[in-house]
Amino acid sequence: MGVKQQIREAVELVERGLDKNVRICVTGLSGSGKTAFITSLVNQLLHQKSSTTLPFWLAHAEKRVLAVKLIPYNDLHIPEFPYAESLQAIENRLWPSSTRNISQIRISVKYQIKNKWIKKLQKTSHLNIDVIDYPGEWLLDLPLLNLDYENWCLLFNDWVSKGKQANLSLEWLNSFSSDTGQISKTDIKGLSESFRQFLLKCKTSEEAIEFIQPGRFILPGDLEGAPVLDFFPIPANANVDKNGEAYKILVQRYEYYRDNVVQPFFKEYFSKVDRQVLLVDVLKVLNQGFDSYKELQQTLSKLVTSFNYGQTNWLKRMFQPKINKLIIAATKSDQVPPEQHMAMKSFLAQMLMDAENQVSYQGVNVNTLVFSAIQVSESVTAEHDNKRISCVKGVELDNGEDVVNYPGKIPVEPMTRKQWNEQEFNFINFAIPDLTTDRQLPHQRMDRLIELLVGDKFL
C-alpha cells in the first residue's frame, strides 16, 4: 500500500470524524420570533460574503468562510421552510405570517480549516446546519407525553379554575351542566368543538394566556377535521361514568393523540438535536405585568427542564438527547433603546435563573443574549421636558404611524409585585420598513448568536 493511499485513508477518517452536521432546535412559544429568526439566520449566512455586520462570527471575521448555500435535506417527508416567501413578505413590508405547519431547511457552509493538525490533511471542510420551524403552540404538548388521560384531566381542571382562563371557560363548562352529567357517544363531536372554541378564545384574548393544551386544537396542521382531535378533558363539574363507552372513546383518542401525534413530533425532531436556542419575548410580559411574567416563567422553566438533559429521565430514555449547548435569547431588542439592552439581559437571566441552573448542572453550556433578528427601528434621542431621552423610532405595526417611543425603563434588579404594578411599560411592535432584500437584513447581534450556536464547529 502506497503512502498516498494511506494519506487518503487518513483524510477519509478525519472527514468522517469531523462533525459535519449540526441540528439546531429553535424553541419558543408562539409569537416569540422563531420564523423571523430562522429567516434572518439563513439570510445572514447567505449574504456573508459582502457582509460587514458580522464581526462576532469568528470564522467569518477570520475570512475562513468560503461559501454558503441551501442544500436539500435528508428528511424528505418534511416540507421546506418557506425562505423565499418570508423574504418576499419582508420586501412587501410584512412580517412572515404565523407558522401553521412544520418545515425544515439545511444550510451548508464551506470553510477553511484553521486547526493546524487537521489542516495538514485537508484544507477545507463544510458544515451542514439543519433548522426546523414549527408552530409554537405545539411545543406546549411536551408535558402530555408523561400524562395519562386521568392525570391530564386533573391538571387541566386545576389550570382552568384559575387565572384569566376561568372566565373564558364558563360557556364551555355550562354545556356540561345542562346535561344530566352523562355524555353519550354522539355528544363527543359537539363537545370537542366547543372545547376547541374555548381554547381559541384563550389564544385570541387580550390577556396573554400562554399555556394552551393540546396545541393541535389551535393549529391542527394536517390533522384538520381528523377524529383524533375529537376529545376533551372531563371538567370537574361533570360526572362521567368511567366504564361508559364515551369515556373509553375519550381515553382512546387522547392516547392516540399522545402516542401518534405528539410523540413522533418530539421524537423525530428533538432526538438528534445538538444545539438549542430558546427564544423569549420578554417585552410582552413587561407590557402585560406580573401575572403574565409568572406564567411565562413557569411555562418556560417547565419546558426547558423537561426537554433536556436528563432531568426527567423518561424523556432521556426515549430520545437520548445530546444537546450540549443552550442559548437563552431575548428577541426583538430593537424595540428597546440599546442602552437598556444590558438591563434587558439581566431581566431575562433573572427570569430563567432556575431553569438555567438546572440545565447547566447537567453539564450543558448555557448562554444568555439579547438580539433582534430583523432590526426595524432606529435608536434616537428625543427632547422632552428639557431632558434628552433615548428612544426608538419606527412605524407602529397596529396603525402604520411613524412614532418615536420611550418604552419605560427596564429595571436591573428584580421587581416586587408592587413595583410591577407601579412601573409602566409600552413596548411597541414595529412594522417592517422599506428594505432591500438583496443585501443582508439589518439585525442586532445575530453574529453573536451564530458564534454561540455553531462557532466552535468551524475547526
Ligand X SMILES: Nc1nc2c(ncn2[C@@H]2O[C@H](COP(=O)(O)OP(=O)(O)OP(=O)(O)O)[C@@H](O)[C@H]2O)c(=O)[nH]1
**Contact footprint for another protein (CB under 8 A):** 52-56, 61, 333-334, 337-343, 346, 372, 375, 378-384, 388-391, 393, 401-409, 411-413, 419, 422-426, 428, 444-445
Q: 20 or 119: whose CB is closer to another protein?
A: 119
Which grid coordinates are listed for 102? 412544520
Nearer to Mg ion, 97 or 416 (CB): 97
With binding defined as CB under 6 A, does residue 212 bind ligand X?
no
Handedness of CA 88, 89, 95, 100 (dihedral sign): negative
Contact (Cβ atoms closer than 8 angstroms) between residue 218 and residue 277: no
Q: What is the DSSP string of 168-202?
A: HTHHHHHHHHTTTS---TTHHHHHHHHHHHHHHHH
Cα dihedral sign, 301-306-310-313: positive
> Residue 391 binds what, of Mg ion, another protein, ligand X, none (CB under 5 to 8 Å, by partner type)?
another protein
CA 247, CA 88: separation in Å to the nearest integer? Answer: 48
- Candidate ranges 95-103, 149-157, 160-168, 252-260; the one touching ligand X (CB under 6 A): 95-103
Residue 363, judged by CB atoms within 10 A of its CB (0-12, 13-18, 19+), counts as exposed
Give the nearest distance from C-beta 279 to Mg ion in angstroms. 10
Binding mask 42-81 for ligand X (x = CB under 6 A): ----------------------------------------
Which region, judged by CB under 6 A, interacts with ligand X, from 6-14, 47-55, 311-319, 328-336?
328-336
Residue indicated by cell numbers 477570520: 62
Bond from prior residue into 233 cis (ω within 30 degrees of 0) = no
337 binds ligand X (CB under 6 A): no
Residue 373 near ligand X by CB under 6 A: yes
Pick 209 or 369: Cβ nearer another protein? 369
Closest approach, Cβ 380 to another protein, in A, equals 4
Q: CB of 92: closest distance to another protein in angstroms?
A: 22
User: What CA–CA distance (Å, rounded) separates 206 from 349?
Assistant: 27
Scan residues 120-159 and list those touching ligand X (CB under 6 A): 135-136
End-to-end CA distance of the chain: 30
- Binding residues (CB under 5 A) for Mg ion: these are 34-35, 99
- Closest CB to another protein among 299 and 423? 423
Binder among 73, 81, 83, 95 for ligand X (CB under 6 A)? 95
Residues whose CB is less than 8 angstroms from the CB of residue 193 and which lie 6 or more positions away in sequence, other chains included = none
Please report whether residue 215 would count as binding ligand X according to CB under 6 A: no
The one of ligand X, Mg ion, another protein, none whose footprint includes residue 228, by CB under 5 to 8 A per kind, is: none
Nearer to Mg ion, 87 or 391 (CB): 87
Q: What is the nearest approach in angstroms of ligand X to the Cβ of residue 327?
A: 15
The residues, any chain, with a CB within 8 Å of residue 352's CB and separated by 6 or more, are: 278, 280, 297, 300, 301, 304, 328, 368
Of 217, 236, 237, which is closest to residue 155 (Cα–Cα)? 236
Residues that bind ligand X (CB under 6 A): 28, 30-36, 95-96, 98-99, 135-136, 331-332, 334-335, 372-374, 376, 397, 429-430
